[in-house]
Amino acid sequence: MSDLASSPNPNAAAPLLWQQHGPVLALQLQRAPVLADQAVVCAALQQALQQAQDDAATQAVLLLAGPAWDGALDAAAVQGDAARTPDGQALRAACQGIEAFPKPVIAVLQQRVQGAGLELALAAHYRLALPSARLAWADWALGLPPAAGGMARALRWMGAEAAAAWLLGGKALTAQQACDAGLVDQLLADGDDALAAGLAWAGQLLAQQAGPRPASAQLLASPEQALAELDAQEQAQRKSSRGLQAPGLILQALRTAVQQPWAQALAGQQAVFEQARGSAQHAALLHAAWAERAAAQVPEARAAAPRPVHCIGVVGGGTMGAGIAVAALNAGLLVTMIERDAQALARGQANVEKVYDGLIAKGRMSEQAKADTMARFAASTDYAALAEVDLVIEAVFEDLAVKQAVFAQLERVCKPGAVLATNTSYLDIDAIAAATGRPQDVIGLHFFSPAHIMKLLEIVVPAQAAPDVVATAFALAARMKKTPVRAGVCDGFIGNRILAVYKQAADYLMEDGASPYEIDAAVRGFGYPMGPFQVTDLAGGDIGWATRKRRAATRDPRARYVEIADRICERGWFGQKTGRGFYRYVEGARSGQPDEEVLAIAAAERARKGITPRSFSADEIMRRYMAAMVNEGAKVVQEGIALRPLDVDAVFLGGYGFPRWRGGPMHWADAQGLQTILADIQAFAQEDALFWQPAQLLQQLVAQGRNFASLNAAAATTEEQTP
């Protein structure tokens, strides 16, 4: 192949390579058409098309898709800054040039074809897919509909129902699925030689005297039926996309494409793309994606190489321990589980196998795959079985003395250099590390249940942890496909510490007059899947009760303490597992019903304390709920428990159900204006100055006219300058 056009950067590869094969000009993108390269790549493509049009000997153009066709917007590349999202103008021009080309344009699809690369493929007149091809609208996850006519073209190639399901679902189509849907015209049965396959098919098309076939010339059989199909898709996705604006914009563009001529269809699509690109939701979703990537950038991971990890131990076979074991097995590791006796060990192994049996029942795993996976699993009641593991994770009862006893055993049997990790949710890891003679090897790995599904992994770094131990934890998280976030040691670390505070705010609202059902409804209306009292019932009210009793001795006697939850627990009502909690659960149902007795308990507690109940609107509830969350988040950053505000966002997006389209609590606070949040806190402090103490960091940022994003940017600059 030869260079057709050179990049303005003389050190960069040419954006497009071309080669003439008789009557066919083959073009291969060398760089993905995203970000700053989009204009360069698209200009090179248009230049190549112009040359092919002027060359009478060229009868067809072959567009070879490959890794460079993965044109999805990269949140890390723009550092979460929505202002840097490409406007799509160059891409639209390139797609229109392909579609209007007077000779057949054939796209050969392989590997990932998404984002801008997929737009170019849909603009082609014909599509051939290799078995490896996967077609997806990856930018959907960032709140962006296709920018350059892809929706209207998908509609013409696939029909309304299939196009809408694909665009709204956010999932990739395999080569076979794309062929079945009419998006792909020819499917290569096997092989990976894109050029040979493309030239062969181009030869067939030319022999058949096939001419250009633009999407604009493909007519819908029944516009009325298409509109009915779009209405049905809207109903189907309404619940799953609650709060998201992109699905509505996509459906709006598809309806325009059904009802209006082609030029208006493209204009309508451009309008909804520009609306989404300038929206708060795109900014929030872009920030969320960037924060999860940036959270893995920590000082220790840059300063040291991880220790090798091939086999791990898991102490404890309960729900959490089994989930951790499954996560490790899924990552290809050897796993040894330890339990206190044979009966408990059998339950632990059964808990592991239950996960894989569920996958088999759903057709997502074969019996042989389960057998191969379980061949890497061992179980024992003897700690000596952990003598050669590279890393061990303790997942036993949440009691400091119990965990210290486990770590004393681990110090005795584990080889030098083995990483000793605890899965504690709240406890002092420095105190756990002190139970060993090798505190440099100890770290916290706080998984979230179910551990094999939940993406968040808080990596809690005690004072004496060696840098390579921290690096090892982050490498393990990457291998397990987790979102790792570094946290310092304190009661609850990042997530549970902040959770405890905004749950207090919810308790205060309940004691002041709001029902738990009104509070839960307001939180769901904000975008959470569940409210705080629903979460309590799901987790088990006895867990929080035990924590409150543990903290009773150190609780500030001046602090307000709400006892409604204690009264409920005293009745043995621990939530779903007992059939009653804040809600009633009929015959083990997971969805609860409001309980008049709970309201009576709350009323009695108010009367006992002389509190006159008052009403709260959903907005008033959320102002307090979110102010408490953001204020404690600022304190966590201020104290260094979280390195940056983005780490708080990553924790709440990955483990606490915070609505992704709001970007995380700290990003949300920036969007509201920190001065507004601070003013609310200061107003609430008139009622309870002890609880509503404004974070010093929050006050400083407001005084300086800055926001949390400025701290993220400053941290990123520091990281870039660190050798």
Residue 402's CATH number: 3.40.50.720
Q: For 212-230, what is the mean pLDDT?
A: 92
C-alpha 513/C-alpha 614 separation (Å) is 5
Please say whether the beta carbons of 391 and 357 come within 8 A: no
In a domain, 93, yes or no: yes
CA distance 382 to 379: 9
- Please give the model's pTM, rounded to 2 decimal places: 0.92
Residue with the larger pLDDT of the pair 619 and 10: 619
Establish if 719 belongs to a structural domain. no
Mean pLDDT of 605-612: 96
pLDDT at position 720: 54
What band does 127 get if pLDDT is binned at 50, 70 and 90?
A: very high
Average of per-residue pLDDT across 374-398: 96
End of a domain among 461, 492, 523? Answer: 492
Residue that terminates a domain, selected from 473, 492, 511 = 492
Whether residue 321 is found in the same domain as residue 259: no
407's torsion region: left (phi>0), alpha (psi -120 to 50) or beta?
Answer: alpha
Average pLDDT over residues 386-398: 95
pLDDT of 12 reads: 43
Number of helices (H) and strands (E) in the chain: give both, helices first: 30, 21
Cα dihedral 163, 288, 270, 248, rounded to 10, equals: 50
Q: Which pLDDT belongs to residue 36?
A: 57
Residue 5 has pLDDT above 60, yes or no: no
Q: Which of 255, 250, 252 is nearest to 224 (CA)?
A: 255
3-state DSSP call for residue 662?
helix
Say if residue 313 is in the same domain as residue 270. no
Residue 100 has pLDDT above 50, yes or no: yes
Sheet of strand 334-338, all strands in order from the earlier edge strand to the far edge: 377-380, 334-338, 311-315, 391-394, 419-422, 442-447, 456-460, 483-487
Segments in 134-193 forming alpha helices (H) = 150-158, 160-169, 175-180
In a domain, 210, yes or no: yes
Confidence band (pLDDT; 50, 70, 90) for 41?
A: confident
| Those residues with Cβ within 8 angstroms of residue 224's Cβ, 6 or more apart along the chain or in another chain | none
Beta strands 105-109 and 70-71, pairing class: unpaired
Q: Please provide the average confidence, as pLDDT, over all residues in the chain.
A: 91
- The residues that bridge with 420 in the sheet, in sequence order, are 392, 442
Element of type H or E holding 444: strand 442-447
- Tell me what the mean pLDDT of segment 155-162 comes to: 93
Verify that 327 and 366 share a domain, yes or no.
Answer: yes
Q: What is the pLDDT of residues 554-596, one digit of tens each?
A: 889 999 999 999 999 999 999 999 999 999 999 867 789 999 9
Sign of CA dihedral 628, 615, 662, 240: positive
Residue pair 373/332 in contact (Cβ under 8 Å)? The answer is: no
C-beta of residue 78 within 8 angstroms of C-beta of residue 84: yes
Confidence of residue 723 (pLDDT cuts 50, 70, 90): very low
Neighbours of 384 (CB within 10 A): 10
Residue 720 lies in a domain: no
Q: Which of 248, 278, 308 is the last residue of a domain?
A: 278
453 shares its domain with 322:
yes
pLDDT at 1: 41
Query: Is 286 a member of any domain?
Result: no
- DSSP assignment letter at 440: G
- Residues 484, 499: one domain? no
Residue 721 pLDDT exceeds 90? no
The reported pLDDT for the residue numbered 102 is 96
What integer pLDDT is reported at residue 322 of this predicted model?
A: 96
| Per-residue pLDDT at 704 | 97
Which 3-state string (H, E, C) describes 181-249?
A: CCCCCEECCCCCCHHHHHHHHHHHHHHCCCCCCCHHHCCCCCHHHHHHHHHHHHHHHCCCCCCCCHHHH
585 in the same domain as 522: yes
Residues 501, 529, single domain; the answer is yes
Residue 13: the pLDDT is 55
User: For residue 5, is it within any domain?
Assistant: no
pLDDT tens digit sequence for 265-311:
999 999 999 999 999 999 999 999 999 999 999 999 889 999 999 99
Neighbours of 689 (CB within 10 A): 11
Q: Tell me whether residue 388 is in a domain.
A: yes
- pLDDT, residue 66, reads 66
Q: Report the range of poorest mean pLDDT among 57-61, 133-137, 633-637, 648-652.
A: 133-137
- pLDDT at 8 exceeding the cut of 60: no
The reply to whether 131 and 262 lie within a common domain is: yes
CA 577 to CA 319: how far, in whole Å? 14
Percent of the chain with pLDDT over 90: 78
The pLDDT assigned to 46 comes to 92
Does the structure show a pLDDT above 60 at 11? no
What CATH number corresponds to the domain at position 99? 3.90.226.10
Could you tell me the residue range of the domain that residue 318 belongs to?
299-492
Q: What is the pLDDT of residue 87?
A: 83
pLDDT at 4 over 90: no
- CA-nearest of 470, 482, 475, 478 to 643 is 470
Q: pLDDT band at 346, cuts 50/70/90?
A: very high
- Average pLDDT in the 256-264 region? 94
Does one domain contain both 163 and 218?
yes
Query: Looking at the structure, do residues 532 and 388 belong to the same domain, yes or no?
Result: no
Average pLDDT over residues 509-516: 98
Distance between CA atoms of residues 690 and 696, nearest Å: 14
**Is 582 contained in some domain?**
yes
Torsion of CA 649, 650, 652, 654, to 10 degrees: 160
Q: Both 537 and 512 in a single domain?
A: yes
Count the domains in the chain: 3
Q: What percent of the chain has pLDDT over 70?
A: 94
Q: Are residues 346 and 265 in the same domain?
A: no
